[in-house]
Structure 1
Amino acid sequence: MRNLIAYFIKYPVAGNTLMVLIFIFGYFGLQSWKKNFFPVSESRILQIETVYPGSSPEEIEKGIVLKIEDNLRGVTGIEQISSVSQENSGVITIEVERSYNTDLVLQDVKNAVDRIPSFPDGMEPPVIYKKESRNFAISFSLSGDVSLTTLKKFAQKAESDLLAIDGISKIALSGYPDEEIEIALKEDALRAYDLTFLEVSQKVQNANLEVTGGKVRGDKEELIIRANTKGYYADKFQNIVIKTTTDGRIVRLKDVALVSDIWAESPNRSHLNGQPSVIIEVSNTIEEDILFVTESVKEYMEKFNTENSVVKTTLVRDGSTTLNERIDLLVDNGIIGFVLVLLFLAFFLHIRLAFWVALSIPIAFMGMFIVGANSEVSINVISLFGMILVIGILVDDGIVIGENIYKHYEDGKEPMQAAIDGTMQVLPAVFSAVLTTAIAFSTFFFLEGRLGEFAPDMAFVVISTLAFSLVEGAFILPAHVAHSKALSKEAKKNKVEKAFDNIMSTLRDKYYGPFLRFAMKNWVLALSVPIALFIITLGGIRGGIIKLTFFPFIEQDYITVNLEMPSGTRENITEGYLEDIQAAAWRVNQKMSSERADGKDIVENVLLKVGPGTNVGSVTIRLLGTEERQMQSFLISNAIRDEVGEVYEAEKLTFGINTPFGKPVSVSLLGNDLAELNLAKEELKNKLKELPALKDVNDNDKKGARELRLKLKEKAYAMGLTMRDVVGQVRQGFFGFEVQRLQRGLDEVKVWVRYDLEDRGSVKRLENMRIRTASGMQVPLNEIADYEIERGIVAINHLDGRREVRIEAELGDPTASASEIMAEVRAVIIPEVLAKYPSTSVTYEGQSKQQQKTASSGKRVIPIILLLMLAVIVLTFRSLWQAVLVFICIPFALIGVGWGHYFHGHAISLLSMFGIIALIGVMVNDSLVFVSRVNELVKEYKDFDKAVFEAGRSRFRAIVLTSVTTVAGLGPLIFETSFQAQFLIPMAISVAYGMMIATFITLIALPVFLVMLNRIKVGLNWLWTGKRPTNEEVEPAYIELKSEQLEIDKK
Structure 2
Amino acid sequence: MNIAGLSIRRPVTTVMVVLIVLILGFVSLTRLNVDLLPSINLPVMVVSVQYSGAGPEEVESIVTRNIESVLATVSNLESMRSTSSEGSSLVILEFAQDTDMDVAALEVREKLDMIRGMLPDGVSDPIVLKLDPNMLPIMSFAVSQEGKTDEELQVWVEDVLKPRIERIEGVASVSILGAKQTEVKVIVDPEKLISYGLSMDRVVSALRAENLNMPGGVVQDGQYDLLVRVSGQFKSLDELLDVPVVSSTGTTYLLRDLARVEKGVRDDRQYSRVNQHDSLSISVYKESTANTVRVAEKVNREIESIKKSYPDISVMTIVDQSKFIKSSISAVTSNAYIGAILAIAILFIFLKNITPTMVIAVSIPFSVISTFVLLYFSGITLNIISLGGLALGVGMMVDNSIVALENIYRMREEGLSPIDAAEKGTNEISMAIVASTLTTVCVFLPIVFTRGMTAEIFRELSITVTFSLLASLVVALTLVPMLASKLVTRQGFSKKNVTVERVTEKYRRMLEWALEHRKTVVLITAVVFGMSIVLLPLVGVEYFPTVDQGQIEIEVRLPRGSSFGETLEAVQRVEKMVSEIPEVEMVWASIGGQQLNVGMGVSARDQGSITAVLKPVGQRDRTTQQVGEEIRQKVKDIAGCQIQVNTGGGFAGLGSGMMGPPISISIKGQDLDVLRKISDDIVRVVSSVPGTREVRSSFEEGRPELRIIIDRQRASQYGLNVALVSSAVQSHLQGVVATRYKEESTEIDVRVQLPDDGVFKVQDVENVMVTSPLGISVPLKSVARFEYAQGPVRIERHDQSRMVTVSGDYEGRNFGEVIEDIQERLDDYPLPEGYFIEYGGEQEQLSEAFGDLRLVLVLGVTLVYMIMASQFESLVHPFTVMFTVPLAFTGGLLGLLIAGKPLSVPAFLGFIMLVGIVVNNGIVLVDYINRLREGNADLKLAIVQAGATRLRPVLMTSLTTILGLLPLALGLGESSELQVPLAVTVMSGLTLSTFLTLVVVPVIYSLIDDFGRWFGRKLRAL
- TM-score when normalising by structure 1: 0.90
Residue 718 (structure 1) shift: 6.4
Name the SS for the 1:906 alignment partner. coil
Does the CA-based 8 Å contact 2:685-2:825 persist in structure 1? Answer: no
CA distances 1:631-666 after superposition (whole Å, capped 9, x unpaired): 211222222222333223114433432633542212
Counterpart of 1:419 (choices 415, 418, 422) is: 422
Is 2:80 the partner of 1:81? yes
Residue in structure 2 matched with residue 319 of structure 1 by the alignment: 321
Task: Give the aligned residue type for 1:457.
Answer: E
**Take 1:667 and 1:262, find their aligned partners in 2: how far apart are those partners?**
48
Residue in structure 1 matched with residue 100 of structure 2 by the alignment: 101
**Take 1:98 and 1:746, find their aligned partners in 2: how far apart are those partners?**
45
Counterpart of 1:559 (choices 552, 555, 569) is: 552
Does the CA-based 8 Å contact 1:652-1:698 persist in structure 2? Answer: no
1:636-1035 residue pairs with structure 2 within 5 A? 636-657=627-648, 659-660=650-651, 661-713=659-711, 715-716=713-714, 719=717, 726-727=725-726, 729-731=728-730, 733-734=732-733, 737-740=736-739, 749-753=748-752, 755-758=754-757, 761-771=760-770, 777-813=776-812, 816-829=813-826, 831-833=827-829, 835-975=830-970, 978=973, 980-1026=975-1021
1:458-477 residue pairs with structure 2 within 5 A? 458-477=461-480
Residue in structure 2 matched with residue 144 of structure 1 by the alignment: 145
Does the CA-based 8 Å contact 1:655-1:696 persist in structure 2? Answer: no
Greater alpha carbon shift after TM alignment, 351-360 vs 983-992: 983-992
Residue in structure 1 matched with residue 621 of structure 2 by the alignment: 630
Residue 603 (structure 1) shift: 2.0
| Alignment RMSD (CA, Å) | 2.7
Distance 1:955 1:332, change over 3 A: same
Greater alpha carbon shift after TM alignment, 702-711 vs 766-775: 766-775
Name the SS for the 2:174 alignment partner. strand
Task: Give the aligned residue type for 1:965.
Answer: T
Residue in structure 1 matched with residue 289 of structure 2 by the alignment: 287
Distance 1:60 1:184, change over 3 A: farther
Name the SS for the 1:677 alignment partner. helix
Residue in structure 2 matched with residue 569 of structure 1 by the alignment: 562
Residue 415 (structure 1) shift: 1.5
Distance 1:171 1:874, change over 3 A: farther
Counterpart of 2:502 (choices 503, 506, 514) is: 506
**Take 1:605 and 1:936, find their aligned partners in 2: how far apart are those partners?**
68
Residue in structure 1 matched with residue 536 of structure 2 by the alignment: 541
**Take 1:187 and 1:155, find their aligned partners in 2: how far apart are those partners?**
37
Does the CA-based 8 Å contact 2:247-2:775 persist in structure 1? Answer: no
Task: Give the aligned residue type for 1:167.
Answer: G
Residue in structure 2 matched with residue 328 of structure 1 by the alignment: 330
Distance 1:928 1:173, change over 3 A: farther
**Take 1:741 and 1:860, find their aligned partners in 2: how far apart are those partners?**
62
Residue 893 (structure 1) shift: 0.9
Task: Give the aligned residue type for 2:108.
Answer: V
State the identity as a percent.
Answer: 23
CA distances 1:653-682 after superposition (whole Å, capped 9, x unpaired): 334326335422121222211111001110
Does the CA-based 8 Å contact 2:198-2:771 persist in structure 1? Answer: no
Residue in structure 2 matched with residue 371 of structure 1 by the alignment: 374
Residue 217 (structure 1) shift: 3.1
Task: Give the aligned residue type for 2:503.
Answer: L
Distance 1:124 1:741, change over 3 A: farther
Residue 178 (structure 1) shift: 4.5
Task: Give the aligned residue type for 2:69.
Answer: D
Does the CA-based 8 Å contact 2:853-2:909 persist in structure 1? Answer: no
Name the SS for the 1:227 alignment partner. strand
Is 2:516 the partner of 1:516? no
Distance 1:853 1:735, change over 3 A: farther
Residue in structure 2 matched with residue 609 of structure 1 by the alignment: 590
Residue 981 (structure 1) shift: 3.9
Residue 793 (structure 1) shift: 2.9
Residue 980 (structure 1) shift: 4.7
Distance 1:72 1:635, change over 3 A: same
**Take 2:262 and 2:85, find their aligned partners in 1: how far apart are those partners?**
29
Residue 150 (structure 1) shift: 2.8
Distance 1:319 1:679, change over 3 A: same
Residue 1013 (structure 1) shift: 1.8
**Take 1:223 and 1:244, find their aligned partners in 2: how far apart are those partners?**
38
**Take 1:1017 and 1:186, find their aligned partners in 2: how far apart are those partners?**
107
Distance 1:227 1:672, change over 3 A: same
Task: Give the aligned residue type for 1:716.
Answer: R
Distance 1:892 1:744, change over 3 A: farther
Number of aligned positions between the proteins: 999
Distance 1:744 1:443, change over 3 A: farther
Residue 131 (structure 1) shift: 3.1
CA distances 1:479-518 after superposition (whole Å, capped 9, x unpaired): 112211x1x24x3668xx42xx23222211x211121122
Does the CA-based 8 Å contact 1:698-1:809 persist in structure 2? Answer: yes
Mark the runs of 5 or more structure 1 residues left unpaired by the alignment: 590-601, 1028-1051
**Take 1:383 and 1:742, find their aligned partners in 2: how far apart are those partners?**
54
Does the CA-based 8 Å contact 2:685-2:822 persist in structure 1? Answer: no
Distance 1:858 1:973, change over 3 A: closer
**Take 1:540 and 1:372, find their aligned partners in 2: how far apart are those partners?**
38
Task: Give the aligned residue type for 1:199.
Answer: R
**Take 2:815 and 2:578, find their aligned partners in 1: how far apart are those partners?**
27
Name the SS for the 1:473 alignment partner. helix
Residue in structure 1 matched with residue 31 of structure 2 by the alignment: 32
**Take 1:293 and 1:1014, find their aligned partners in 2: how far apart are those partners?**
64
Greater alpha carbon shift after TM alignment, 72-81 vs 802-811: 802-811
1:205-354 residue pairs with structure 2 within 5 A? 205-219=208-222, 223-231=226-234, 237-243=240-246, 249-252=252-255, 254-257=256-259, 259-349=261-351, 350-354=353-357
Does the CA-based 8 Å contact 2:544-2:905 persist in structure 1? Answer: yes
Residue 938 (structure 1) shift: 2.1
**Take 2:349 and 2:437, find their aligned partners in 1: how far apart are those partners?**
26
Residue 32 (structure 1) shift: 0.7
CA distances 1:19-42 after superposition (whole Å, capped 9, x unpaired): 111211111111110011222234
Greater alpha carbon shift after TM alignment, 232-241 vs 406-415: 232-241
Residue in structure 2 matched with residue 592 of structure 1 by the alignment: none
Counterpart of 2:543 (choices 536, 539, 550) is: 550
Greater alpha carbon shift after TM alignment, 172-181 vs 681-690: 172-181
Greater alpha carbon shift after TM alignment, 21-30 vs 773-782: 773-782
Distance 1:942 1:72, change over 3 A: same
**Take 1:974 and 1:455, find their aligned partners in 2: how far apart are those partners?**
18
Greater alpha carbon shift after TM alignment, 155-164 vs 132-141: 132-141
CA distances 1:210-236 after superposition (whole Å, capped 9, x unpaired): 223344432365544333333488666
**Take 1:649 and 1:657, find their aligned partners in 2: how far apart are those partners?**
25
Residue 684 (structure 1) shift: 0.8
CA distances 1:111-157 after superposition (whole Å, capped 9, x unpaired): 11000022231222111232344264322111123333333333333
Residue 336 (structure 1) shift: 2.5
Task: Give the aligned residue type for 1:812.
Answer: E
Task: Give the aligned residue type for 2:25.
Answer: G
Is 2:377 the partner of 1:380? no
**Take 1:419 and 1:51, find their aligned partners in 2: how far apart are those partners?**
76
Greater alpha carbon shift after TM alignment, 1009-1018 vs 187-196: 187-196
Residue in structure 1 matched with residue 397 of structure 2 by the alignment: 394
Task: Give the aligned residue type for 2:56.
Answer: P
**Take 1:745 and 1:52, find their aligned partners in 2: how far apart are those partners?**
34
**Take 2:387 and 2:317, find their aligned partners in 1: how far apart are those partners?**
26
Residue 352 (structure 1) shift: 1.4
**Take 2:924 and 2:741, find their aligned partners in 1: how far apart are those partners?**
76
Residue in structure 1 matched with residue 71 of structure 2 by the alignment: 72
